[in-house]
Amino acid sequence: MDLGLVGRTNAGKTALFNLITQSSAEVAPYPFTTREALRGMAEVPDPRVDAIADAQDIPRRVQAQVQVVDIPGLAAGAGQGEGLGGKALGELRQTDALIHVIRAFANREVPHPDDAIDPVADAEAIDLELILADREQVERRLEKVRKGAKSGDAAARAELVLLDQLATELDAGTPVRVDADDDARALAAEMGLLTVKPVLYVLNADDPGDPPADLAAYAGSRNAQVIALAVGTELELAQLSDQEAAELAAEMELGDVRGADAVVRAAYELLDLVTFFTGSGPPEARAWPIRRGLTADRAAGKIHSDLERGFIRAEVVPWEDLVRAGSFAKARESAQLRMEGKDYVVQEGDVLQIRFAV
């Protein structure tokens, strides 16, 4: 459940990392400020947690968190392992989705590696390095698997077909996520290939608002989404008191949702997780991200291992029904609570109360 940040140097990756993880890592106008991978936790704001808490006067609210990994800027050659970025690509293989930061802001004090602000060209340059990095991984694996296939190993032969398919896609300059079939995609995911991971392009712009049409079209062709965010402005807003920030946001017509929240939410959605909640009463209402398809006992184990070990049953109510009923007790009275066993597959938006004995 990790998000990786990629982009060219000085695109504002670390600025965005600081914004969403409330860190204070070094951000500077010279190239390659970030030398080693950085990790932080981003909170995923979910209004359902507040709704559940408000309905029952629960004071404490705990949002889901995801880990964010920031790496050095990628330069040409990174895909072949060169430079700081080349080394850092290994860190990205461990992540589940990528946030690709693209510069659009025009700040003369911050040099651009090509001396030209060109979002589509920058996106292409990074995507090429990711493709080359994947191609190299595929080649290494091909060398191993070819030997097995020659000696008649059936599994190796099957894998060889998939690897050939991946190599063909990558040689054509196409990220694996775009066209590869399910089996090839599954192999790519298992290998930690970068271009099979879902991507959100974040255009770091002076003004938020709609990203330019050419970048939107490019993102579409790459099976990716794009959001424009004024990272610099958002960082300034984050320094202010709530009231001052609200005034400034109104003046700048930024709307209700902080752009950074929208980016974290969109990135979280890329992970394709299921969110369930606990909050059948005080002291806290909390969001829990889990993999899709997880059963109730395994979900209980995320809360505490005792709950999985001693699982008896889960009392389940969809969050909207709980909010409408006003409390777990009232939901039970009106027969809206369901009793589910350990094999129940937890659904998006379920509120769970686990009955257990150890």
Ligand X SMILES: Nc1nc2c(ncn2[C@@H]2O[C@H](COP(=O)(O)OP(=O)(O)OP(=O)(O)O)[C@@H](O)[C@H]2O)c(=O)[nH]1
Name the residues that contact Mg ion, by CB under 5 A: 13-14, 33-34
| Assigned token pair, 296 | 């109730």
| Assigned token pair, 20 | 């969403």
Q: Based on the shown chain and the rule CB under 6 A, indicate whether residue 119 belongs to the binding site for ligand X.
A: no
Q: Considering only residues 88-107, where is the footprint of ligand X by CB under 6 A?
A: 105, 107
Residue of 21, 56, 204, 225 interacting with ligand X (CB under 6 A): 204
Token pair 């909640």 in the structure block, residue: 277
Q: How far is the CB of 17 from ligand X (least distance, A)?
A: 7
The entry of ligand X, Mg ion, none that residue 28 binds, CB within 5 to 8 Å by partner kind: ligand X
**C-beta of 90 vs 220, nearer to Mg ion:** 90
Q: Based on the shown chain and the rule CB under 6 A, indicate whether residue 34 belongs to the binding site for ligand X.
A: yes
Q: Based on the shown chain and the rule CB under 6 A, indicate whether residue 211 belongs to the binding site for ligand X.
A: no
The entry of Mg ion, ligand X, none that residue 95 binds, CB within 5 to 8 Å by partner kind: none
| Assigned token pair, 214 | 């050419």
Task: Tell me the CA distances in angstroms from 214 to 178, 217, 257, one per residue in order.
Answer: 18, 5, 26
**C-beta of 73 vs 289, nearer to ligand X:** 73
The entry of Mg ion, ligand X, none that residue 232 binds, CB within 5 to 8 Å by partner kind: ligand X
Q: How far is the CB of 11 from ligand X (least distance, A)?
A: 4
Q: What is the three-class DSSP state of 117?
A: coil
Which of 11, 9, 73 shows the shortest CA–CA distance to 37? 73
Q: In what order do the strands lie in the sheet with 64-70?
A: 38-44, 64-70, 2-7, 97-103, 199-204, 225-229
Q: How far is the CB of 264 from Mg ion (least distance, A)?
A: 18
Give the whole-angstrom CA distance, residue 289 versus residue 63.
Answer: 10
Residue 196's φ and ψ, nearest 5 degrees, are -95, -15
**C-beta of 29 vs 326, nearer to ligand X:** 29
Binding residues (CB under 6 A) for ligand X: these are 7, 9-15, 27-29, 31-34, 72-73, 105, 107, 110, 204, 230-232
